[in-house]
Structure 1
Amino acid sequence: MNDPDSQAGGARKVLEVEEDAAGTRLDQWLAKQLAPELSRSRIQTLIREGAVSIGGSPVLEARAKVAAGFVVEVNVPPPEPAEPEGEAIPLDILFEDDELVVVNKPAGLVVHPGAGNWSGTLVNALIAHCGPSLSGIGGVRRPGIVHRLDKDTSGVLVVAKTDHAHRELTAAFADHGRSGDLERAYQALVWGTPPRPTGTIDTLLGRSGRDRTRQAVVSESQPDARHAVTHYTIRERFGEEPDATALASLVECRLETGRTHQIRVHMAHIGHPLVGDRDYGAAFLSKANRLSEPLKGLVSGFGRQALHAWLLAFRHPTTHMLLRFEAPMPEDMARLLAAFRAME
């Protein structure tokens, strides 16, 4: 039997152990009974906190064995208040249901609170927007961040609203779509033009030895080295020369892995950093001085890397339907791209 009684946002569940489950560990049996609502790790926490009892007596050992006919009571407390607090920040919602929310993140919005950004983030905005519909990630009423976009990168981003969705989506992104349907595509405006119409950049990335806030292509001997693969396709060239070079190019990048600053580092690594990228493309800033107006002014005043996550596709964690979302190029990047096209 399952008797969920309201407890100010929590739930009381009473279950009876069936005969064929006799001898099973308590946490394993409960995980099977309460999936997908509660994960095994969450159940183990509840057991340690004294929220699980058998015959009215708390059981504090997850490894305790159950017997046929045992009546197990689970008291799930209401999710703890979110930290940080919610803030009424406008959001461009592309899709939302009980499990997840998909947003078109603008450039300039930090995804998660951290040093120097404890408020005004996407998480603050989602806490306010979703309110009670957040069922609690690990017992805390907060959105579950599955993947991130840099502060100054715009585009499609999915966030989990439940523990189940968070587990499923996190696994899908960690797998990088190798065993499922996950697709991520970015539009990047880069200096110059890669030598081939399509290509793959396959390196190891880790913290830069010169600046710990940046990433760099590193050797396998570096402890934090992680495999990173980016596939690119040239979509347009601007200012083409007779020798097949160009002033700049619009490149589509598709990720096989999802490392910090991956596209920015990879494109700089092959000699074609993103327009506007002051961290990885500083050596190319002088290129703007050689441009004619109005392009020169637009490039000089473009205060971020020209990178937009235009496509995200994945399987819904509960219905398993394939969801596909596209976000139009934001106005600032579209204006810059139009100026490059006009120079032709």
Structure 2
Amino acid sequence: MATQRAVRLSDVAAVAGVSKATASKALNDSPVVSPATKARVREAAERLDFRPNALALSFASGRSRTVGLLTHRATATFSRPVVMGAILRLGSRERAVLVFDGRIDAHRDMAESVRTLQDRRIDGLLVVGSGYARLTPSITHHFDVPVTYAFAATDDPDDVVFLPDNERAGYLAGRHLLERGRTSIAHVTADADDLAVRRREEGFRRALAEAGTEAVTTLHGTWRREWGERAVEILDDGPVPVDGIFCGNDHIAFGVLDALEASGRRVPDDVAVVGVDNWEEVVVDQKLRRLTTVDLDLTGVGRVAADNVIDPAAHGGERFVEPALVLGPST
């Protein structure tokens, strides 16, 4: 059976009753073509199911419709949903993606990636980091196309940066514990130098301050489950019993749950616990959920950052994606 020939621009021009050059200008929304002619050409293209050649469009428009994606450990647990959100959104907007994975905080790796991307005809660049623990060196000045950052704080305040709203995450957790009737609430989290830790703590304290109270204590340690277990021992040795604990992430929260249950206390009857990250959605069946947590919508961070590469914001600065409280048995 003969293969059906692909519809060409000349076919569209013939059906619309215009020259091939006019059809091309009409499909590229040229101002020299009248609105009536544009409508006629587009109707013909739609009727024939015309698919423009991507390479031809690139030469005609001066744009490659390709976006560079520079990542720091794209397969890392929390970077992966950001990358997937960005790639899916770029694909839905008919952009090709050129991915380079490496260490964006390592000068040698970064310099090589920058040179390679400069040689490619990209229309924009999206840089995906690995979190908000520390500042990432800006590379915007190396490019003459729009550069957007996601899940990474940069050292240039003029960069456009999309981040999960860690301050809001802490606020949602604190408010939820208060709404559950908790009056003696502790905060167990990671290193105080971590930017995400500081912002989550700020939001948590703001929620409590609005209710006219404050945290019993804040314990700083690591992001690990073992720290959560140890923190419960420290809280038990303190002068004030707690009935609510806001944990800086879900790993800490799982350690807290284990220690509370091992000591015979009932969760949430005796102590309610809230984490951050929605880790259980990533690694286990929802039927096994143990924890109330705050989902940072990392996929959404990737989506909105990808949109900004295509339609850049007029001004730089940080932009935050709204998190959501996910209810579980721990509250």
Same fold (TM over 0.5): no
State which structure, 1 or 2, has the greater radius of gyration over its C-alpha atoms.
2
Richer in strand (by share) = 1
| Larger RCO (CA within 8 A; separation ≥ 6) | 2
TM-score category, normalised to shorter length: 0.3 to 0.5
Richer in helix (by share) = 2
